[in-house]
Structure 1
């Protein structure tokens, strides 16, 4: 199974932190919905899942769907504190999330956040590709990707694609060399 990590970053490389004053770019939200639909699933942490329940984060093109933009998808939430969330599968670890999706017959797993989940997948060598949507904003304080939290390791990648999504958002897609 191919594991793809999807994230929105600021132009200076931090995770884009959304707030009412700085909402997520609609182009990035639409892109996430398209990738989730293509994969048929996505993996998130509990806090990110809770933030996704905000109706302002639903992609515009999907709002007409009364079942929501993620109806029929396998949504996997990684949490050590919550044991049950109606309509989603709760697991304890990244490997358990991938095993669940593999057993369900998925060929691709979309890892969509947050920073702790991304860093854990990367540090455990479970990611095949990364998709970074770079938002046109600089942020003074933010979270970063950490591939090796104890050392200054390197992870070599190969550029697969680079394209504008609109609204100043640029998407970079890389394969991770193993």
Structure 2
């Protein structure tokens, strides 16, 4: 199964954080919805899922399988809860999905990256700067370096540029 990590980054390289005062750009949200529909699924962490629910977007994905990775969330009707990134991928593979879309947040992305479970990266670089921000890491215990190959680069509109990379084997 191919795993695709989808994230929005700021122009200064931080993991973009949204808030009611600074919501995500429409073009990035539309792009995410298109990728989720194509994959037929997406994986999120508990805090990201709760944020989606609070914003009214937790149930607007129709037939898309949503998997929440959490050890502390209560069961939610229609939503699969997995205890780990590997468990989430195993579930989607058993359901017959060819691609898993890893959607957010930073802790979940870092868990997938740290365990070497990402085949492709999709970064939407938004035209904003953030002072303090979160970072994507592949290992927090020691220095690690991993090559990536640029597959595609395209504008999404609204000043957002999408970069798509293969990770690891090429």
> TM-score, with normalisation over the residues of structure 1?
0.91
Q: Which residue of 1 aligns with 2:97?
A: 106
Alpha-carbon separation, structure 1, partners of 2:157 and 2:57: 17
Give SS of 1:37's match. helix
CA deviation after TM superposition for structure 1 residue 131, in Å: 0.2
- CA, structure 1 residues 56+76, in 2 after alignment: closer, same or farther (shift >3 Å)? closer
Give unmatched runs, 5+ long, in structure 2.
none
Per-residue CA shift, 1:122-141, capped at 9, x if unaligned? 01000000000000001001
Give unmatched runs, 5+ long, in structure 1.
59-66
Q: Which residue of 2 aligns with 1:4?
A: 4
Alpha-carbon separation, structure 2, partners of 1:100 and 1:57: 23
Alpha-carbon separation, structure 2, partners of 1:54 and 1:29: 16
Alpha-carbon separation, structure 1, partners of 2:84 and 2:21: 33
Within the candidate set 95, 109, 126, 1:135 is matched to: 126
Alpha-carbon separation, structure 2, partners of 1:41 and 1:145: 22
CA contact (8 A) 1:15 1:144 kept: yes
Q: Which residue of 2 aligns with 1:61?
A: none
Per-residue CA shift, 1:26-46, capped at 9, x if unaligned? 000000000000000000001
Q: Which residue of 1 aligns with 2:42?
A: 42
Q: Which residue of 1 aligns with 2:147?
A: 156
Q: Does 1:94 align with 2:85?
A: yes
Alpha-carbon separation, structure 2, partners of 1:39 and 1:57: 18
| Runs of 4+ with >2 A deviation | 54-58
Q: Which residue of 1 aligns with 2:13?
A: 13
